[in-house]
Amino acid sequence: MEIRKIEDWHAPASIGAAYARMLHAAGGEALGPALHGALTAAVTGVRRIYLFETTERHASTLAYFRCEPELIPLLALYTDAYRGMDPLGHAYAAAPRPGDLALQRIRPDDIASSGFRRMFFDDRGIVERVSVIQRVAGGWRGVNLARHCSDGVLDAGELDAFVALAWLALPMLALGGVRRAPAPHIFELEQRFAGLCPSLSPRERQVCARAAIGMSIEASAIDLEVARTSVRTYRKRAYARLGVASPLELLALVAR
């Protein structure tokens, strides 16, 4: 396991456009998806991205995440059973003063808990997880990503891009607006919409689930990596099939 304080960094010119998109999204719900888009463009083989805040070593709040759909039902298990065993907790000591930035790289062999290692790494083909932690007043902010074994570990250029994007994005959490962890329920909502109306396409179910939790068209488009016009089309078709006219009515359908 590697843990080190980041003493210097540089931003590759290639991330300029991504930074502009994150600035545009700062203070709103689109920040997480914008960071996700920037990271997946800069780093191949990304399977998971977590953007979080914490005031304690083993207690954190997800601001945004993107992971494999089959992993979503296991997130509550991670919180209840495995978070205290996560080596991520060791990284905070490397960023003790406000403004400090630390990097952690872990491989499956660095995880002592066989259950945690098997369920969240080995069974999913995860070869490396890399985290950037920033010390702020009252706690830390962080972002981590997981790399699939088919692409190997991050090379130097990918690591530089990740550190730069994390350094640029993490202060934007202070502006607020990032939706606090609605995403664990998205997959469940998609399944509920499928049960309510089997004729909905997979994309229509995805768009409905995000609309029901309050995601805007722009945020949904970034999260699903489709055009905003496509999201509008999917919403219009789904609303007609479900007989609703607004996100509130969508939420009422699945809240019954």
DSSP per residue over 167-183, as a string? HHHGGGGGG-----S-G
Structure tokens at 159: 């690591």
With bands split at pLDDT 50, 70 and 90, how would you rate the model's confidence at 73?
Answer: low
CATH number reported for the structural domain that contains residue 92 in this entry = 3.30.450.40
31 and 102 belong to one structural domain: yes
With bands split at pLDDT 50, 70 and 90, how would you rate the model's confidence at 182?
Answer: very low
Q: Find the domain containing 100 and state its range.
A: 2-175
Q: Answer yes or no: is pLDDT of 181 > 50.
A: no
- End residue of a domain, out of 127, 155, 175: 175
Q: For residues 65 and 126, which has the higher predicted lDDT (pLDDT)?
A: 126
For the whole model, what pTM was predicted? 0.71
114-153 pLDDT, tens digit per residue, is 889 998 999 989 999 999 999 998 899 999 999 999 999 9
Which of 208, 159, 168, 162 shows the shortest CA–CA distance to 187?
A: 208
Find where tokens 């905003």 sit: 228
Dihedrals phi, psi of 182, to nearest 5 degrees: -80, -20
Domains of the chain: total: 2
- Residue 255's pLDDT is 66
Q: Answer yes or no: is pLDDT of 65 > 90.
A: no
Q: What percent of the chain has pLDDT over 90?
A: 41
Structure tokens at 48: 């998971």
With bands split at pLDDT 50, 70 and 90, how would you rate the model's confidence at 177?
Answer: low
Q: Answer yes or no: is pLDDT of 180 > 60.
A: no
Q: Answer yes or no: is pLDDT of 227 > 80.
A: yes
164 and 243 belong to one structural domain: no
- Residue 79's pLDDT is 79
